Amino acid sequence: MENQKANKITIIGAGNLGSFIAYEIISRDVCKEMVLVDILKDLAEGQAMDMAQALPYKNRTKVYSGGYEDIVGSEVIVITAGKPRTPDIKDRLELATINVKIMNFILTEVKKYAPEAIIITITNPMDLINLHIHKSGWAREKVIGSGGQLDSSRFRTILGNPDNEVEGYVIGEHGAGQIPVFSKVKINGELKEFNLEEQKEIKEKLKNSSMEVIKRKGSTVFAPASNTADMVESIVRDQKRLLICSTVLKGEYNLEDVSIGVPVRLGKSGIEKVEEWELSEDELSQLRESARKLKSTYESLNN
């Protein structure tokens, strides 16, 4: 399975993040063709040319830019198109109205040309957009939000130093309602306990971790790109890796009709399993609260 490749992967939105995701994916040699689509046609074309020029000593992936007719046959489509966060946008939910509109346009095209594709959602507010795509007709197995794996990676960075092996996960909203799962943190294989003061301090650092990057360099790219490529690789190579992703719940954790970050297994058919972890009472109640907030924001968008 390790050398298995997708015939085609598409990135819709070839801006800062989309281009890095595309480059990370082609560097891993997981697809035969990579298509970049953006309303800014020159931008997509320039990105594709730049990437193609990086490949001769790497592998034989064919990278090109195109219109929606070129996405036919895509097995995975990563959507990053939309308005990004800027330092004045404190909460990702503020981007909902405009990015839902952009998504409606994109989904009409994707339905026409690649209705069978597995969609990975990046555009913020990612959990809401992911639910919106599901409600627009994609089976829940085939629409997966990228964010929890990234938040978990940031959590591990805060907890660890290079000499330690750190296991830590963040579930819940990809945003202010994120939940670091302190009850399952392991350092060098041993469960670690945190007092309330430590938890508060770590949560605060985690909450600010993406904005600290955006303030300094305008956007976050390496960390989300790497974590999204892990998702793509797990799907294409059917690795069934345990990853934290946003998925539409159907009764798991006693929640439904909401897309939120939980542990899942990703393989050839997309979400192959939602893992139901035993969480602490406090973590469960935070998950419920995070879901409640996402649900009410989604409902307010439609009124």
Nearer to ligand APR, 124 or 239 (CB): 124
Closer CB to ligand APR, residue 38 or residue 151? 38
Specify whether 132 is catalytic: no
Residue 18 CB, nearest distance to ligand APR (Å)? 5
* Residues 129, 135, 138, 143, CA torsion sign: positive
Where are any strands of DSSP class E within the chain? 6-12, 31-37, 62-65, 76-79, 118-121, 143-145, 166-167, 170-172, 178-180, 186-187, 190-191, 241-250, 256-267, 270-274
Shortest distance in whole angstroms from residue 10 CB to ligand APR: 11
What residue number has its CB nearest to ligand APR?
15
Of 80 and 239, nearer to ligand APR (C-beta) is: 80
Binding site for ligand APR (CB under 6 A): 12-18, 37-40, 43, 80-82, 84-85, 102, 105-106, 122-124, 219
Q: Check 132, 134, 142, 174 and give the catalytic one.
A: 174
Q: In the complex, what is the shortest distance from the CB of residue 181 to ligand APR, in angstroms, rounded to a whole number?
A: 23
Contact status, residue 19 vs residue 37, Cβ threshold 8 Å: no
Between 15 and 168, whose beta carbon lies closer to ligand APR?
Answer: 15
CB of 155 to ligand APR, least distance (A): 18
For residue 273, give the 3-state DSSP assignment: strand
Query: Which residues are the active-site residues?
Result: 174
